[in-house]
Structure 1
């Protein structure tokens, strides 16, 4: 009898501990098809939600709004596609990345969207989150495509957010801005995205998850026969440094395991302001050691840009990518490392090099990419509005 009472009291304690995390029912889009309260299953709130496998694909089944065509809807976090892949050096196909990632994200809120390790629900929070669709990107002219990506991203980034729009923020103009998560696209897109972010925040610290350095000099990577050819998915960080987009010596690669043209590539990487955490370090310092290296490098105060190449993952976990490299991390390891960055001041992010044509029928890569962004989205929500990352003159946090 005593044991039964103890079990009951333990159950009550668990229920009370999680009372603050009770989720709202997911409502369907058609009120006329909802079950009425009398005919509904007890406790379901009287609504009937769509199945996760039905309806138009948006990231995590978020509301869609054509943000590039209309500014009537405000948002705190926007998902934005950049379907560009004509800067790749090996396997093309990342132009279909945004579509694939959205498809792979369908079941993220199957059970309500609560992120257990991070103790937050990015789908049910203070933040207004929208899928803004894709930037229209030409596949015939790389220079113009890069311009389209920069301008489209900046249009979404520079608007007033839904929350705390009138409060001070960390942008150069002292304003609070929304965050933008971009679905690539090959890694070339990070150059125009950085140009957009730097217009808002000034030179920015970058955390770069990748198997490749991507700081190669154009003459080394691709030969650079023309100015346009010199900008590609292996040289964009070199150009970013030359254009003054990167904050000095506060940038880091994680997951690196590529072959090089020579040891001088490491020297050039340092010239561009990056520290390196190689993939194989996970065998010696573990995920905790890698997390600490990243946090020590970028800090938690300054604005940070997060760029994630899906080839950080081993091809066993993410085969659908443009330049796969064996010896990478598992999906679990990458998600653990990302969660360890909770509290860093991420103002924008991207995920790139997802090429669905090379995926398995089980959608391994697109699901992995979606789950990675679920962690990023949750960290942004946990951090709160960007107004909370600056302080008033008297020193009180906004």
Structure 2
């Protein structure tokens, strides 16, 4: 009998607790109460919280088709198209980890005079594409479909025709599906601004092997050759794509690789040019080749940096640029009309304990975000919109845009 009484008492207590919890859940919270909770518990220290890029809102965008954004950070953890050291599949996670000191609260970029995280753009971390690691044909199709689906959505802001994707690599082959997607979305070929130690315009046969296959053509040194042959890049000698930071060894016993590259409509800025031109001269060379109104895909291989600054990469080449030089150049080209971007080839297994490679990559993403958001503000001015970027508040104001034609798009 005593046991039955105890069981009944326990059941009543459980029911009371459940009812109490249910009442707590059903209550209507006021805006003031919710604001107080946010003030009390909403702040995160850089080392805390879920590991999204810069503590941005994280959504699995590929499974939530109603989720809209202006700029998406999307990871492409893929590295089975490399020719030397693997490991870039862990790059997106490492870059996100290295971005943890970037926050909305402390996100103002003194070099760009803007806080990209407190501005007009809705920026999301859309997670990673679940790329299969055992079949490159399937992986290529997955990336192409994912980039196309995300890039085809309607943006939140009326400033844009389509949202912009910034991809965290992954090896550099992902630029091919990204360019395929952009071509599908906009129906036009693009120009590419390519920061890299290597050309990446090699014919696949330049990789010496008797075991050639169609699938072997898809690799991280031939994707721009493939893109050019597919008509994804503008083939007009007056409108070339641009390499910057080159210092690769070439095939054979001469300049054939450069000749092939020129025939594919590329202009080259080699790493050593910075000694004679300085960063200002490099910037001028790029801007002379690519005017501000031409849509461009920005592709940054972290091996453009010297291994002293970015050892954690698959194909390191001595004699590269410093992190500060690259940042200065990126700031100098902020007027470009970037419609998509990637930061690739971060292989964290080869970096030091200080995360220097991933830190550099996270900074590059931050600079690209700053430029894209700043370009949007320029578009507001062109279209009659207003936005007050107050240093004290840095808060979003109402944006008024006249007309549907947007200047900073295709």
Q: TM-score range by the shorter chain?
A: 0.7 to 0.9
Residue 144 in structure 1 maps to residue 153 in structure 2:
no
Q: Is the 8 A contact 2:202 2:257 kept in 1?
A: yes
Contact residue 389 and residue 397 of structure 1 kept, 8 A: no
**Distance in 2, Cα, partners of 1:183 & 1:361:** 21
Q: How does 1:111-150 map to 2 (within 5 A)?
A: 112-150=106-144
> Per the alignment, in what secondary structure is the counterpart of residue 219 of structure 1?
helix
- In structure 2, distance between residues paired with 1:358 and 1:145: 24
Q: TM-score, normalised by structure 2?
A: 0.81
Residue 171 of structure 2 corresponds to which residue in structure 1? 186
1:185-235 per-position Cα deviation (integer Å, ceiling 9, x unaligned) = 101111111101111231001000000000011111254610001110111
Cα 1:138–1:48, aligned 2, differ >3 Å: closer, same or farther?
Answer: closer
- Structure 1: stretches of 5+ with no match in the other structure: 1-28, 36-46, 170-175
CA deviation after TM superposition for structure 1 residue 48, in Å: 5.7
What is the aligned partner in structure 1 of residue 395 from structure 2?
none
Correspondence for 2:60 among 51, 62, 66: 66
Instruction: Report deviation, 1:56.
Output: 1.0
Q: 1: distance between equivalents of 2:141 and 2:379?
A: 29
Is residue 243 of structure 1 aligned with residue 251 of structure 2?
A: no
CA distance in 1, matches of 2:105, 2:405: 41
Aligned pair partner of 2:196 in 207, 210, 218? 210
Change in Cα spacing, 1:365 to 1:30, as seen in structure 2 (3 Å) is farther
Moved more, 322-331 or 267-276: 267-276
How many residue pairs match? The answer is 350
Q: Which of 171, 184, 195 is matched with 1:199 structurally?
A: 184
Aligned counterpart in structure 2 of residue 272 of structure 1, from 241, 260, 264: 264
1:243 Cα offset (Å): 0.3
**What is the Cα deviation at residue 321 of structure 1?**
0.1
2:50 aligned with 1:56: yes
In structure 2, relative to structure 1, the CA distance for the partners of 1:117 and 1:387 (3 Å cut) is closer
CA RMSD, Structure 1 to Structure 2 (Å): 2.4
C-alpha separation between the residues in 1 aligned to 2:138 and 2:406? 45
Runs of 4+ in 1 over 2 A off after TM superposition: 29-35, 221-224, 385-398
Which consecutive unaligned segments of at least 5 residues does structure 2 have? 1-33, 384-401
CA contact (8 A) 1:300 1:345 kept: yes
Q: For residues 248 and 222 of structure 2, what CA distance do their matches in structure 1 show?
A: 14
2:204 alignment partner, SS class: coil
In structure 2, the residue matched to 1:220 is 206
Q: Is the 8 A contact 1:78 1:132 kept in 2?
A: yes
